Amino acid sequence: DVCPLLKDPEAFNAVIELLEEKLQKHVGSVDLIAGLEARGFLLGPSLAARLGVGFIPLRKKGKLPGETIAVSYTLEYGQDVVEAQMGALKPGQNVVIVDDLIATGGTMAAAVQLIQKLGGTVLQCLVVIELVELRGRELLEADMLQSLLQY
């Protein structure tokens, strides 16, 4: 649970700095940060502001205004959908996806597919917490995921 970070500005800033450090090999290459609903909306804009780039929200079905593009994915208990607004990025833009946690990896893998469907390139996926036993990293390309804490 990353919610206690929100009450402590020093801890929150430290997490944003650590996420930024994970992007050192991509310095100058990042065009946009994409954040997954809901806690990716808390981390993503702060990281985007630090990097001087824009932020795009990736949301559950029906939550974004205007025309959207969607990717569906399987959960342990059914199906879900993640969406972005059409035109959220320009083809060829480099994107980093941010979320608080990765478990089985279904949501993150769908987010990667969504960015690719929009014409973007995913440089990196960043999370604060990785639940290693659930092996979510295996749904992503090699070395695509960076996490601050592993349990």
Give catalytic residues, as residue numbers.
39, 76
Secondary structure (DSSP) of 80-133: EEEEEETTSS-TT-EEEEEEEEESSSHHHHHHHHHHHHTT-EEEEEEEEEE-GG
Separation between Cα atoms, residue 92 and residue 118, nearest integer Å: 9
Under 8 Å between Cβ of 106 and 78: no
Tokens of 11: 């801890």
DSSP 3-state of 13? helix
